[in-house]
Amino acid sequence: MLNLSRPRSVATLALAILTVVAAPLLSAQAIPESPLQHHLSRLELGVTAIGQITKEVTGLNALNPPLRQSVTQRASTTVGFLATLRYVKSPLIGFEGNYSQARFTQNYTNYIPGGAQAKASEYSLGYVAHTPSIFGLKPFAAVGVGSMAFRPTAGGGQGLLTQARMVYYYNVGIDDALFSKHFGVRLHLRQAFYKAPDFGANYLTIQQQTNTLEPGVGFFLKF
């Protein structure tokens, strides 16, 4: 005769083990999300390396008419970084804070041979919106406003003064999640608009608007 009791015992034991293992998982799923967890799940941190290509501008400086000269201001092309913290409530409603930094040389025709070295740091806030995913890519667009601080360096800053300018920007790009929705690659094209820095020196003051194009690539982390 066949012994049917042993298979039944094994099945019963397996069912008991499965119940013991699954019970904590089921109970964990039943725990409601706390308000803190809910808000943290909406946060995104992005860090990208950016290129900086600044428009050349020309104007008459602010010296008295007999001494006034035409000055062309040209910033060297350089690289820096951009850090962005976003709070995304829904695809069409999101907010971001930005901090960027780069080091460059500001060149002026007729003045400061060799140019003046400086650091540019942006502090800005903006609005960001996302569109539905396209082929697994998540497009976004952002606009905002803030301040750009120009700080001449100790070594090559020519003794010029630190200066802040109002800045406004737009940013368009895509996020591509890797491995999970919590981590991925970010590509973007950003442009910042501001008045050309003169570091408080009237012989460098030309009162012209310029802009910096900032292509970037990096990563994002979603909490």
What SS3 state is found at 71? strand
111: CB partners within 8 A, 6+ apart: 71, 203, 204
Q: Nearest Cα to 87, choosing from 79, 95, 75?
A: 95
CB 14 within 8 A of CB 41: no
**CA 25/CA 21 separation, integer angstroms:** 7
Task: Please state the pTM of the whole predicted model.
Answer: 0.82
- Cβ atoms < 10 Å from Cβ of 185: 15
What is the pLDDT at residue 4?
45
For residue 161, name the pLDDT band (cuts at 50, 70, 90): very high
Mean pLDDT, the chain, integer: 89
Residue 111 pLDDT greater than 90, yes or no: yes
Q: Which of 40-44, 128-132, 194-198 has the lowest mean pLDDT?
A: 40-44
Query: Which of 2.40.50.100, 1.10.260.40, 3.30.360.10, 2.40.160.20 is the CATH number of 35-222?
Result: 2.40.160.20
Tokens of 98: 């930005």
**CA 86/CA 47 separation, integer angstroms:** 11
